[in-house]
Chains A and B, each alone.
Chain A
Amino acid sequence: MEEGGVNVIDLTQGDESFVKELIALGADELRECIQCGKCGATCPMALAGLEFFIKRIVHAANLGLRDILLEDSSVWGCQSCNRCVEICPMDIKPYEVIQAVRRAAVKVEACPANTYEGLRNLYRFGHAVFPKGFEERRKKVGLPEKPPTALSFDEFRKKYQELLRQTILEEIAPFPLD
């Protein structure tokens, strides 16, 4: 945001290497987008009022506007409903563009704090999101303390953590993988 309040986007910042990076990260049909806007018309993010909804993200990605995309948290609002992928007439798979931007953001630690929280939970407990303090309530209604998910099977969780350690998470995780 420039001083004075008018937000003029400087296209000169556009970085072709960022476009190439996104293409390598899975947005391989990115450049074919003709900005017809069909994805924007079906995207729940757009309906929810997120500033950078799918159509704008794809265009900004195409222009190589790295800073704008990584500073804005809109990509993390994507619900992965995949409606855009189904509806896109040019078959560019807009959701893959969002994923590519997320991957690029994670590489440079440009994600909102709660995404790290989710990542840590995923590594530790096998779930990105889960309710806390459920044990008592479960006991009250006669259920086992832990639900029969990854939480109940330490052995499998260890194996799965081992698998995760062999992924890129090993390099980029901002928390210890123990």
Chain B
Amino acid sequence: MCTEICPARVPNEYNFGLDQRRAAYIEYPQAVPKKAVIDEPNCLYFKSIKKTGKPACEICKKGIPPKGIQGCPADAIKFDDKDEYMNIRVGAVIIATGFKPMPKHYFKEYSPHSPDVITSMEFERILSATGPTGGELKRPSDGTKPKTIAMISCVGSRDERYHPYCSKVCCMYMLKHARILKEKYPDIKLYLFFIDVRTAGKDFEEFYVYTRELGAKIIRGGRVSSVDVKPNGKLRVRGFDVDLCSPVELEADLVVLATAIEPPDGVEELGSMFTATCGREGFLREVHTKLYPVETQARGVFIAGCVQGPKDIPESIAQARAAASATAALVIPGKIKFEAIISEVDRDKCSSCGVCVPLCPYTAIRIVEYKGKEKAYIEPALCAGCGVCASACPSRAITFHGFTTDQIMAQIEALTEA
């Protein structure tokens, strides 16, 4: 109810600003929990309190009685509720922050200023029954139904200027969009520009052939070179068709860019908080691509989904379940096995200089009180046995088990005996 009567309107982030939501809103229809919240910076109540000290609007709570509009019938609106941060002690963490689709403004050659050039995520919302147009296919500029649609793949992916990797899911979702469109509107002209069509895996190639059968036109070898807005408001798409061995041109009403999957904002800071490292592309890195795909360099920190790299839904689910199992295997036994090759502080020797603390890549070293003095302590569950602290300790207070000075000297002697 409140989501319908709130007078404040702001661009709807969930629909990428293609329509507006109220300041009292439910984020999206499938939200869990499906509860309305108040967007404080945009709410007229909070705005007026800030300015004048008096509330100017309480429509969601009280309604508009003269007009017979009722406020929240459950009396669930609490203006004094505050955001809370909670501290929870846990044994393991799974990082699954997902991805961010690349925005279109980078690609000047595709006329991003035109409202009829949209990203696939925006197009997905337009196609959705709960989207900004209620599921009706409309051009964002003038609300007419497009007759010719061009979709362009690899926008920002496989591109050294942006992301050299393949975003993996674009080919399939472009075909999905094509299929939805062709099944719903068989008369629509649909041109899909691919570098090459990557539909690897079970049932995917069949999906591709079926989409072709529906009449979607596939142009390969054709990363589009430019999209220009013509004086009549249509978009001229220029590309190359390797199968026709010819440059091609198309007048389209709507252009959909399959922009790259990017690591989410702030994932590097988040990772470093847990001492999990990012790879070259900014995704969190697993310990080993094949053998430890959900573990990070930090013990007890696992990753799942697109935070590790572009992947589709089945893969994300498989990885999430793997991460959950790895977490359970770590936490449920209630005890933990340490590696034999780890470092240990002889606290009686420790001078409390603290050199080792920032050096440890695994944040395993803390300064704790011991016999009334502050001394270094290495958390054995976190130590990965790299030996950095042992080599740096000026008091030689850290023993690196398995690689003590005596042991190394003995090895050198044995090697140089002959």
Residue from B191, B213, B217, B247 within 8 A of A9 (CB atoms): B247
Does A6 reach chain B (CB closer than 8 Å)? yes
Judging by beta carbons under 8 Å apart, are B249 and A10 in contact? yes
Q: What is the chain A residue whose CB lies nearest that of B220?
A: A35
* Number of residues of chain A lying within 8 A (CB) of chain B: 22
Taking the closest CB of chain B, its distance from the CB of A171, in whole angstroms, is 29
Taking the closest CB of chain A, its distance from the CB of B186, in whole angstroms, is 9
Does A19 reach chain B (CB closer than 8 Å)? yes
Does A126 reach chain B (CB closer than 8 Å)? no
What does the 1/0 interface line of A7-29 toward B look like (CB < 8 Å)? 11111101010010000000000
Judging by beta carbons under 8 Å apart, are B244 and A14 in contact? no
CA distance A90 to B347 in the complex (A): 74
Judging by beta carbons under 8 Å apart, are B215 and A19 in contact? yes
Residue from B208, B215, B246 within 8 A of A8 (CB atoms): B246
CA distance A32 to B213 in the complex (A): 6
Q: What is the chain B residue whose CB lies nearest that of A40?
A: B243
Residue from B213, B214, B217, B243 within 8 A of A11 (CB atoms): B217
Taking the closest CB of chain B, its distance from the CB of A6, in whole angstroms, is 7
Interface residues of A in 41-85 (CB under 8 A from B): 55-56, 59-60, 62-63
Does B148 reach chain A (CB closer than 8 Å)? yes
Which residues of B are found within 8 Å of A12, using beta-carbon distances?
148, 249-251
Does B262 reach chain A (CB closer than 8 Å)? no
Judging by beta carbons under 8 Å apart, are B212 and A10 in contact? no
Does B344 reach chain A (CB closer than 8 Å)? no
Which residues of A are found within 8 Å of B189, using beta-carbon distances?
14, 16
Judging by beta carbons under 8 Å apart, are A9 and B209 in contact? no
Interface residues of B in 228-264 (CB under 8 A from A): 238, 241, 243-251
Judging by beta carbons under 8 Å apart, are B212 and A9 in contact? no
Judging by beta carbons under 8 Å apart, are A31 and B244 in contact? no
Which residues of A are found within 8 Å of B220, using beta-carbon distances?
35
What does the 1/0 interface line of A142-165 toward B look like (CB < 8 Å)? 000000000000000000000000
Judging by beta carbons under 8 Å apart, are A56 and B245 in contact? yes
Which residues of B are found within 8 Å of A90, using beta-carbon distances?
209
Which residues of B are found within 8 Å of A11, using beta-carbon distances?
191, 217, 219, 248-250
Taking the closest CB of chain B, its distance from the CB of A67, in whole angstroms, is 13
Q: What is the chain A residue whose CB lies nearest that of B212?
A: A31
Which residues of B are found within 8 Å of A32, using beta-carbon distances?
209, 212-213
CA distance A12 to B251 in the complex (A): 6
Taking the closest CB of chain B, its distance from the CB of A166, in whole angstroms, is 35
CA distance A62 to B251 in the complex (A): 18
CA distance A90 to B213 in the complex (A): 12
Instruction: Mark A residues whose CB is within 8 Å of B.
Output: 6-12, 14, 16, 19, 31-35, 55-56, 59-60, 62-63, 90
Please, could you name 13 A-B residue pairs with CB atoms under 8 Å apart, sorted by A? A8-B246, A8-B247, A10-B249, A11-B217, A16-B189, A31-B215, A32-B209, A32-B213, A56-B243, A56-B244, A56-B245, A59-B243, A59-B244
Q: In the complex, given contacts A9-B246, A32-B212, what are 16 additional A-B residue pairs having Cβ atoms less than 8 angstroms apart? A: A8-B238, A8-B248, A8-B249, A9-B241, A10-B250, A12-B250, A16-B189, A31-B215, A33-B212, A34-B209, A35-B243, A59-B243, A59-B244, A60-B244, A62-B217, A90-B209
